[in-house]
Chains A and B, each alone.
Chain A
């Protein structure tokens, strides 16, 4: 099991940053996970927004995240419902609940699909997928 490594389907779409999300993707290139924080009320948002969902402010700062959380939910794709998935099923996609209270879609790089479980403590791991793009992936927290 410890040898198992997630093989990311290489033809999956790459993120196309928007004005709001560009700082998030740019920080990942430097292997930092940054979350959008409202400059007025401090609420953390993910994905990044144009306007704070809590207070309506439109000014934000970026806050470094430890990238620690747990698996909130997951799916296992068995049927290649997109050409990019052909030959790569089954594979798991997880929704991670970060300690900051937001959820992030990702993959577990060290856990085979049949062992993914809700509640699993996880930690961020950066994956260079080429074309200058780094994605936030997750692995099990050590000893958990």
Chain B
């Protein structure tokens, strides 16, 4: 018995996004949680579960005390890196479905620009230890190095081009230009800007890389009955399916996708809008192919297939990590919920099924609009 449609994301919330928040990461999380609880119409005292990214620095104990949670019945974090948003949703939904908790908050608060910068090898490096012994002595020092290596090979094998990567970056910027929360709300981007931007780790140009951001976001998960009772005025985002898998080579994307779509009982063609974890923009194209949405993502994007209004399958409608904010998939989950509720700044008409990848094949969620 799965939790399909038995749990809702009843509230979403975020802080302002900046390059220098001037607040602690704990303060960012608490502010975002407050906004998400307000959105859900649920009091902090009703929260009995907390879940976080392993890399998040604010412990569930600190958050529970600060929120004034009287009885924390369920808590946990998921190991790995940024790519665990769907896994968190799956764990929280499973806990609620199993009766271990009633209302679980998932939070993320990070000073990713003014504090620890994940794009820096001196932050993410392993000092030549572990797997790093075989990569770092040769100059592969950051997550982007390994990803650039695989992107280059993919370009060689499929013929996908940097210009096509650029097309997706431009489309996401157009979405960000419509989203007042987005870091790049006021800055347009052309394909020429992308192509002429400096190379960071070739084949990645600057505008293939995610932002570095300070900010926070939160989700409130609970039973649909409670969510509806509190907010009868609007559609509800039900969790139709969630799937997670191991990182790297421990589970290929097609297996994650097979489990996800089997749980949801829908086809790729039923999906109305898609968010994809874009730590590096080229991986949006790769994921579209690997999940089975399109066969040739390069040409699909070139033809504007991912535009919010005119595309066949709108992708990253808030601007994503490239142009909205880099919250390690939290912002994709928030946008996925908004699409399912009809509240996006680039709203896809009649979006009934909203797909959110939170780690390039390592996890994804399908949300369903419920008008009840």
Give the interface of A toward B (CB within 8 A): 9, 12-18, 21, 25, 46-47, 72-79, 81-85, 90-91, 93, 95, 104-107, 118, 129, 135
Instruction: Enumerate chain A residues within 8 angstroms of B122, measured Cβ to Cβ.
Output: 82-83
Q: A93-B145, A118-B152, A118-B153 are in contact. Are A15 and B198 (CB under 8 A)?
A: no
B153 touches A73 (CB 8 A): yes
Rounded to whole Å, the gap between the CB of A11 and the closest CB of chain B is 11
Instruction: Please list 19 pairs of residues, one from A and one from B, whose beta carbons are closer than 8 Å in the complex, sorted by A's number.
Output: A13-B126, A15-B134, A16-B130, A21-B133, A25-B133, A46-B134, A47-B131, A75-B149, A75-B152, A75-B203, A76-B202, A81-B144, A82-B120, A90-B202, A93-B139, A93-B145, A95-B149, A105-B140, A135-B137
A106 cross-chain contacts in B, Cβ below 8 A = 138
A-B complex: 5 closest residue pairs judged by Cβ atoms: A82-B121, A13-B128, A15-B133, A76-B202, A73-B153
Assess whether B18 is interfacial by the CB under 8 Å rule.
no
Interface set of B (CB-CB < 8 Å, partner A): 119-122, 125-142, 144-145, 148-150, 152-153, 156, 198-203
**Contacts of A13 on B, CB cut-off 8 Å?**
125-128, 132, 136-137, 141
- Given the complex, which residues of B lie within 8 Å of A77, measured CB to CB? 139, 145, 201-202
Closest chain B residue to A79, Cβ basis: B200
Q: Give Cα A16–Cα B133 distance, bound, in whole angstroms.
A: 6
Bound complex: CA A75 to CA B199 (Å): 11
CA distance A24 to B134 in the complex (A): 11
| Chain B residues near A84 (CB-CB < 8 A) | 121, 141
Shortest CB-to-CB span from A21 to chain B, Å, is: 6
Q: List the A side residues contacting B138 at CB < 8 Å.
A: 12, 93, 105-107, 135
- A18 x B149 contact (CB < 8 A): no
- Please, how many angstroms separate the alpha-carbon atoms of A143 and B130 in the complex? 37
Apart from A13-B136, A75-B140, 18 more pairs, CB < 8 Å: A13-B125, A15-B128, A15-B133, A16-B127, A17-B133, A73-B149, A74-B152, A75-B148, A79-B200, A81-B144, A82-B141, A85-B139, A104-B134, A105-B135, A105-B140, A107-B138, A107-B139, A118-B152
Given contacts A74-B149, A75-B201, A78-B198, contact A12 B133 (CB under 8 A): no
Q: Smallest distance from the beta carbon of A37 to chain B beta carbons, Å? A: 17
* Distance, CA A107 to CA B132, complexed state (A): 15
How far is B121's CA from A118's CA once the two chains are assembled, in angstroms?
25
Report the bound CA distance from A90 to B200 in whole Å.
10
Give CA–CA (A105, B141) in the complex, Å.
Answer: 12
Q: Which of B125, B133, B201 contacts A76 (CB 8 A)?
A: B201
Q: Is the CB of B137 within 8 A of A81?
A: no
CA distance A68 to B149 in the complex (A): 20
> Considering the chains assembled together, what is the distance between the CA atoms of A140 and B132 in angstroms?
25
Contact A81 B152, CB 8 Å, known A12-B136, A104-B134? no
By beta carbon, the residue of chain B nearest A106 is: B138
